[in-house]
Amino acid sequence: MKKIALGIGIAGVGAYAAAMKYFFDLGFNARKPNGEFQMIGAGTPYEEKGKEGAAWLNDFESDTVYITSVDGLKLKGHYFACPGAKRTVIAFHGWRGRWYSDYACMGRWLYENGCNLLFPEQRCQNGSEGKYMGFGVTESMDVPAWVAWLDEAHPSSLPVYIIGRSMGAATVLMACGKKLPDNVKGIIADCGFTCPYEMLKVHAKDAFNIPEHPMMDTLNVITKVKMGLDLKAHSTIDAMKQAEKPILFITGTADTFVPSYMTRQNYEACVSEKKLFLVEGADHCMADHVDFEGYTGELTEFFSKYDA
């Protein structure tokens, strides 16, 4: 009986360890697990519009560019030069995302409304190097590096705006806790979360019905050991208390992935000029699809206010 009990115990420990490895890879290793990529809007009435927008971005003759991050990673990006540009927009995609999918709805509109476009591929994703995704923490270090590349490769007096969606929004919001150059005139954060720990806790419960303890405790130990990342130690809320740039916060009220209350919390914590745009009934990263006119109207107003 003791041998049977020991065997059951070992099997249980093994199963837990395997489960934690899966959740760590799912959260932080974009190369694993290998799953089929699903575009934003797939299975909705907006799917075809999304496909058309993604195809336009992919087919457009843009420049493929590279930078080296502060910790030595080769990061890839895509630059679209707009004739007669009024501004430049740097747009960061989200967790397990694609730049052409996350901006399928807005990319062409931005370009046709006077924006040079720079789409970085976030570290550990797509064509950029990196072993792990950092839920916006490590990625926030790359925001000033991309601005520096832009200033060196395409020097101009044009205003610069930085957009992020989902984890990309967390990336740019955390970057607001750092000093950004004067030519960065504003930040647009679309459905960003607050803290990596809170985001993963919510996702584990909603998607897998897994309780916070001991799963999150174990996951935090793993990220500390493998990445040097304490999931509780970093928050967009803290960055918002140091924000200096104007920020437009956007979220859909029906977001089932990053709860809209997280955007509200970021908005409330922000000490710089700010505005909150809510789209009723929009799910995650779908605000521009559901209310395209309202969304583009908010961007137009934001650009007009801070372009000078």
Read off φ and ψ for residue 185, nearest 5 degrees.
Answer: -95, -20
Condensed to tens digits (0 to 9), the pLDDT of residues 12-40 reads: 678 899 989 998 998 999 888 765 567 88
Q: Reduced to 3 states, what is the DSSP secondary structure of residue 67?
A: strand
Task: Reply yes or no on whether the pLDDT at 217 is more than 50.
Answer: yes
**pLDDT for 1:** 46
Q: Which residues contact 196 (CB under 8 A, 6 or more apart)?
A: 135, 136, 137, 170, 229, 231, 234
Going by the DSSP 8-state scheme, the letter that residue 30 receives in this structure is: T
Q: Which residues contact 11 (CB under 8 A, 6 or more apart)?
A: none
How far is C-alpha 24 from the chain's CA centre? 18
Q: Are 211 and 205 in contact (CB under 8 A)?
A: yes
Q: What is the mean pLDDT of the chain?
A: 92
pLDDT tier for residue 11 given thresholds of 50, 70 and 90: very low
Could you write out the DSSP letters of every residue in 206-225?
A: HHH---STTHHHHHHHHHHH
Q: Per CATH, which fold does 46-306 belong to?
A: Rossmann fold (3.40.50)
User: Locate tokens 């137009």: which residue?
Assistant: 300
Q: Are 201 and 231 in contact (CB under 8 A)?
A: no
Task: Give the torsion sign (CA, 271, 276, 282, 286).
Answer: negative
Condensed to tens digits (0 to 9), the pLDDT of residues 37-90 reads: 678 888 899 999 999 999 999 999 999 999 999 999 999 999 999 999 999 999
How far is C-alpha 19 from the chain's CA centre? 25
Q: Where are the domains of the chain?
A: 46-306
**Mean pLDDT over residues 180-203, rounded?**
95
Alpha-carbon span 135 to 155, nearest angstrom: 30
**pLDDT for 14:** 80
Q: Which residues contact 226 (CB under 8 A, 6 or more apart)?
A: 24, 28, 132
Alpha-carbon span 162 to 168, nearest angstrom: 10
How far is C-alpha 288 from the chain's CA centre? 16
Lowest mean pLDDT among 12-16, 173-177, 213-217, 249-253: 12-16
Condensed to tens digits (0 to 9), the pLDDT of residues 257-308 reads: 999 999 999 999 999 999 999 999 999 999 999 999 999 999 999 999 999 7
Alpha-carbon span 141 to 100, nearest angstrom: 22
Q: Reduced to 3 states, what is the DSSP secondary structure of residue 161?
A: strand
Share of the chain above pLDDT 90, in %: 83
Nearest to 82 by CA among 158, 10, 134, 165: 158
Count of CB atoms situated within 10 Å of the CB of 31: 12
**pLDDT for 34:** 66
Q: Is the pTM of this model over 0.85?
A: yes
